[in-house]
Amino acid sequence: MEMSENAASESVATAYMNIHETLLLFTGVRYLWESSRETLRRCLFLKDGPLQIRAQYSKLVNPIRNFLLHAHSQGYPISIVGQEKTGIFADHLNLLLGKNAPPNHFFVPDHVYICEQIQSRPSSGAPYGRDTNYGAKVFIVLNERCRLVLNIPICVRMGEFIYNPQASKLINLDRILATLPEMISSRHENALIPIEMANSIASLSTYPSAQVLKLFAEATIKHT
């Protein structure tokens, strides 16, 4: 729907990437749900970016919320974390909270705080993330070099929106907080090793992307 016969907006590539990442993420969840739920209970799934689906693709949000609630009610809560390394939430944490917050503390902003303090808009407007997010924002300060903006799914009934998410409602928050210190990267600030490794592999400056570009360039030169 974002593409016409003659042109496509720049948002198409970003939207495709987001949907592709989301489907890949839940492909792993679905596989373990069908084959080994005990293994699924011990896994932590990481996503580079917010747990958010925008625009026409947001129709996937409610099914995801419903499945996570169903899994939790069946005794197999699924641990999922999305990390935002850039954007207004990361800027807010670094500028206003990161310097003064003590280590090993976290903060779960509610709807009013996000609207008024981060988005600079009245909180009486549309609830932040009601139709697009399947994870609540969590600011975490692990130490002076690691300040994280995470998205963690919240246990919520179908059709319900929580304006003031409580830590007790975040799925497997205690286990996630216990695991994060083991994944901190020493190469970059505010980095988690699995996401850092995935980015290094996908980078155009490293193998295999560089090799793919080289082959493509050589084939193009030969044909011209």
Is the confidence at residue 158, as pLDDT, over 70? no
How would you classify the pairing of strands 136-143 and 44-48? unpaired
pLDDT tens figures, 96-138: 765 677 888 899 999 999 999 999 999 888 888 888 999 999 9
pLDDT tens digits for range 17-39: 888 899 999 999 999 999 999 99
Q: Do strands 79-83 and 146-152 pair parallel, antiparallel, or not at all (unpaired)? A: antiparallel
What stretch of H or E contains 105?
A: strand 105-107
For the chain, what are the domain ranges?
Answer: 11-191, 192-224
- Is the bond leading into 208 cis (omega within 30 degrees of zero)? yes
Q: Is the distance from CB of 148 to CB of 108 less than 8 angstroms?
A: no
The pLDDT tens digits for 171-205 are 999 999 999 999 998 888 888 988 888 887 766 55
pTM, 2 dp: 0.84
